[in-house]
Amino acid sequence: MGPKSAENRIEKLRETIRQHEYLYYGLDAPEISDAEFDSLMRELKKLEAENPELITPDSPTQRVGGKPKEGFPKVPHSRPMLSLDNVTSEDELRDWDRRARSLAGDSAAISYVCEYKLDGMSMALRYGSEAVREAVGSRENGNSGASHLVRGITRGDGTIGEDVTGNVRTIRSVPLSITHAKLQKAKLPPVFEVRGEVVMPLAAFLKMNEEREAEGLSPAVNPRNAAAGTIRTLEPNIVARRRLDFYAYFALTEAGENLFDEQSDALDALATAGFRVNPHREAIKDIDKVMAFVNRAEEKRADLGYEIDGVVIKIDSADVQRRLGYTGKAPRWAVAYKFTARAGITKVEDIKIQVGRTGKLTPVAVLTPVFIGGTTVSRATLHNADEIERLGLLIGDYVKVERGGDVIPKVVEVVEDKDHPRGDRKFHFPKHCPVCNSEIVKTEGEVDYRCVNADCPARLIESLLHFSARKVMNIEGLGEAVVEQLLERGLVKSIADLYSLTEEQLLSLERIGKKTADSLLAEIDKSKSLPLNRVLFGLGIRFVGERTAQLLGEEFGSMDDLMAASAEELERVNEVGPRVAQAIREFFDEEKNRALIEKLRAAGLNFTAEKRRKTSQLEGLTFVLTGTLPNLTREDAKAKIEAAGGRVSGSVSKKTHYVVAGEDAGSKLDKARELGVKILDEAALQELLAS
C-alpha cells in the first residue's frame, strides 16, 4: 500500500472507529460486535506501525475509550482505568509471556493469576471512614471504625468517570459498609478503592428484554450494554429492578496504588471483606497451565449464568507489575485472552424488519431454533441490505450463526452442500416503515435504511428522552421512567403531546405527586421560550448536533426559512456538507415531521433566531489548522475564521486554500507542502483577518 493509500485508509478507519466508540461508550447502542471492532482496531494499529509519521494524538489508538455521557457529575480517577491488550491464540499468549519475562528480567520469578473476563461495565468504588462518609452527606448510621461506600465512578474515558453512587447503592452485591472487624481480618485500611465489573446476569437480561418487547421496544443487544445503560439511568428505582451484580478484582490505596504485594492476596482480601469475587480464579506459575485454565473456562462459559468473553491473565507480583509498567493505553503486566465466537448451522425461515430507537431498519433472520453456547437461538441480526447481498442470502437457506459476546447472534455465511439445499425466495427491503408506514430513506454512500419520522412509535421513547435532555429543551423531571409510563398509557403519541399534558394526567402516573406534576408542567412550559437552535437540536435530525443546530439557526433565522432551504443553500452553512444537507432535507420532506413542527408551532415554541452578523473577507476560503499556535487556541482561531466567512476543515486536500501551522505541526503540514497549499503562521492569519 502506497503512502497516499495508507493515509486515506487510516483516516477512514479512524472515522469508523470513532463512530463505533461513540455508539458503544456514549449511547450504549453498538452496531457491530466486539470481534468486528477489534479487527478494525488491529488494522489501524498495523497501518500506524508501518507509517509512524501518520500517527496523531487524536487517533483512537492513542487513547483508552470514549468520553463519558452527560447527566452525572464528573470525577477524576485515582489512576487511569485502562483497557487490556487482547490475544486470541496460544501463540499470541506465549509471545506476550516471553515479552513480559524479558522485560521483568531473568531473575524475576513470574507467576500469574487467571480470572474470568466478565463481560460488563468497569466501576471504581471508593470507601471511607465515618468522617469521610459524613463529608459526602450520607445519612446512614454506621458502626464505629467501619468503612462506608463513598462514591461509585464509571470508567468514562479512563481518566474521568461519572459519579453514579446513587445507582451503585442499589446493587445488592455492593457492600454499603464494612465493619472494623472485617477490615482488620481482610487487612484493609479504612480508606481504600475497589475496582471491579458490573454485570447483568443472563436471567435478568432475558427478563428485561421480554418486558421491552412486550412494551414494543427493541431488545437490548447484550448484557454488557444493558448493564452500562442501566447504570447510567437517572432513575435508581429502575436500576434496582434490573438486578445487577458487582464482582471486585482490584484493591487500591486512596492514591491508586496496589494495596497488596500479590494480586491473589488482593482477591482473597476483597472476598474476606464481603465483596463478591469471582470464584473461578487461580494462581498459576506455568504458562502451559494458564492455557489449560483458558480451555477449561471456555468449556464452562455456557453454564455460568452470566457472560464471559475470555480470561484475564495478570502477573501476580505488584513489584513486577510496577517494573513492567504501561504502554500508552494498556498495562504490560496483564492481557485478555478473548474466546472465539460460538456457532451453529440452521435454516432461515423468514426475514423480518426491526425498527430501532434511532429509526434504523435492521433485517433480522427468523431461524429454525438451534442450540448455541448454552442458549436456544431463534433470531439473528443481518445488519443491513448490503450484508444480505454480500451473503447472497435467500429465505430458506441454511446458514452458519455465531454467538460471541452478543446475546443477539449474527449470520456469518450461507452453507451450501448436498445436506443443505439453497432457499428459493429473495428478500426485498420495504419501501415504508413497518411500524408507522412513513416512507423510508437511504442516504447516498450509506448502507442503512431509516425511518425519519420523529414520532414513529418505534423511536418515540428515544425522541422524547433526547428532546427533554439538559442540553436540548432542558425539561427536568422527564426521565425514562416517566416517559415509559406516558407511552404505556397512551398519554403521549408525539413530541408535541408533551405540551398538552395536564396535571390530572400526570397524577395518574406511579410515584408522581402534585408537587412533582406541577414542577414538570412548569419545566415543559419554560422550554417554550428556548431559542430556535435548541428546538432544531431537539427534533433529532440526523447529523444535526448542538453546534450544527446553532449554525443553522444563525444562518436562516427562522424555522420557515430553514424548511424552505434547498440542499445547495444548506451546504453554504459552515460545517454542513452534502450528507448533512441531505439528512436535513429528508427530515423536512417527511410529511409527518412537517405536521409535528406545526403542532409545536401551535404549542407556542420559539421558531425564530437572531441571524449572526459576520464579515465576508474570507468567504469561499477553506482553512486547516495544525500544531499549537503561540497565542490563539484552535477554537479561537476557528471562531475568527468562521466569523470572517471562512470554513475550517479537518483534513488537507486540493480544495484547501490555507494551512495555518503552529509548533509541532504534523502530517497535515507535510501534505500541504506536497499539494502546494499555502502555509500561514499565526501572524499571517491575523494579518489576513485584518485585511
> Mind telling me the catalytic residues?
117
Return the C-alpha cell found at 678.
499555502
C-alpha cell at 332: 504490560
The DSSP element (H or E) to which 547 belongs, if any, is helix 546-556
The 3-class secondary structure across 282-317, one letter per residue, is EEECCHHHHHHHHHHHHHHHHHCCCCEEEEEEEECE
Q: Which three cell numbers stand for residue 658?
A: 490555507
Q: Angle at Cα 453 formed by Cα 448 and Cα 459, nearest 5°?
A: 75
Characterise 137 by phi-psi region: left (phi > 0), alpha (psi -120 to 50), beta (else).
left
How far apart, in whole angstroms, are the C-alpha atoms of residue 194 and residue 151?
Answer: 11
Three cell numbers at 37? 471492532
DSSP string covering 444-475: TT---EE---TT-TTTHHHHHHHHHSTTTT--
Distance in angstroms (rounded) separating the CA atoms of residues 102 and 377 = 45
Compute the distance between CA of residue 361 and CA of residue 429 in angstroms, rounded to an integer: 9
Q: Compute how many other C-beta atoms are within 10 angstroms of the C-beta atom of residue 386.
A: 12
CB 191 within 8 A of CB 128: yes
- CA gap 331, 305 in Å, rounded: 29
Distance CA 520, CA 365 (A): 42
Q: How far is the C-alpha of 283 from the C-alpha of 262, rounded, in Å?
A: 10
Give the CA count within 13 Å in the CB-facing half-sphere of 69: 23
Q: What does the angle CA 132 – CA 135 – CA 137 come to, to the nearest 5 degrees?
A: 120
Cell of residue 311, nine digits: 480470561
How would you class 124 by CB atoms within 10 Å of its CB: exposed for 0-12, middle for 13-18, buried for 19 or more?
buried
Count CB atoms within 10 A of the CB of residue 325.
10
Beta carbons within 8 Å of 446's beta carbon, 6+ residues apart: 579
